[in-house]
Amino acid sequence: MPAIILDGNKIAADIKKEAADEVRRMRSAGTQPGLAVVIAGDDPASNIYVRNKVKACEELGIHSEKHALPESVTTDELLELVQSLNQRDEIDGVLVQLPLPKHVDHRRVLTAVDPLKDVDGFHPVNVGNLATGRPGLFPCTPLGIMEILRRENIRVEGAEAVVVGRSEVVGKPISMMLLNQSATVSICHSKTRNLPDVCRRADILVAAIGRPGMITRDFVKPGATVIDVGINRVTDLAEFERFFSGDGKRRDSFEKRGSTLVGDVHPDVAAVAGAITPVPGGVGLLTVAMLIVNTLKACKTRRMGEVAQAERA
């Protein structure tokens, strides 16, 4: 029986609809949430990501600003901009788009963001809040994964979860989120011994390793929920055939565009998994949706006091 497809399009649309209702309520109370996005250099992928984030905010009635700086920007200049955004009350979220130019000290810049405005969830204060189970702003992609599991009624409590990848953006925070909801969590990486054996224990398998199609059928326990975080561009025909042989529709699109996307999970895994996120159309769409949620949360915490009161209760 083929896996249930966990539709990121629908879940992201539902979250944005809920956010739009919340923005209308906040604006009627005299408060408009605000997000500032800082980008340096001219990385094509970063420009696309920033454009999507700003567009999503505009569609929902959130004030948004894009601060585009040249490749030559210095660490001190970025720090000065971040500090100025920290001081503006109408700006609730400050997002510094990565990667920054190589000569910039990105850790200093990220740490300069006010933790109450850190809608990416990268500040050490928010990392500590997540690790200790306290309220805070947490990374958007892991939050999106947890929303998928929650909205699709996939039980986390008591489940055995395996996370492949230990990045600060996805691997580590999703591991902590799963642990905070009482899953038994294993974190795997390039040095893990007998990786397929470890992965086959998982009721919930999260692949965030950044290697196309690395997770194959022999990594997956039949019926497991598989969350594919990877987004890898395939441009080579031989590699395309390795993943999508016999898929005529995908082949036509590949020949027309010259590329296609594949996750960190081989498409064949859908034949053994119980549920799986597609690529595209899965986790990636939740990242922007959860950025919006974080911006609203920051606004309510900073300017309306609602989140803090609810969490104290």
Residue pair 53/83 in contact by the 8 Å Cβ criterion: no
Selecting among 92, 97, 172, 203, the annotated active-site residue is 97
Selecting among 92, 114, 118, 120, the annotated active-site residue is 120
What are the counts of helices (DSSP H) followed by strands (DSSP E) for the chain?
A: 12, 11
Catalytic residue list contains 53? yes
User: What's the distance, Cα to Cα, between the start and end of the chain in Å?
Assistant: 45
R_g over Cα of the chain:
20
Which residues does 123 contact at the CB level (< 8 Å), separation at least 6?
Answer: 110, 111, 113, 115, 137
Catalytic residue list contains 87? no
Rounded Cα gap, residues 104 and 73, in angstroms:
8
Which residues does 119 contact at the CB level (< 8 Å), separation at least 6?
Answer: 35, 92, 93, 94, 95, 137, 140, 291, 294, 295, 298
Catalytic residue list contains 83? no
Q: How many CB atoms lie within 10 A of CB 249?
A: 8
The residues with which 58 forms a beta bridge, in sequence order, are: none
**Closest Cα partner for 291 from 52, 86, 100?**
52
Selecting among 53, 172, 297, 300, the annotated active-site residue is 53
Rounded Cα gap, residues 291 and 12, in angstroms:
11
Q: Which residues are catalytic?
A: 53, 97, 120
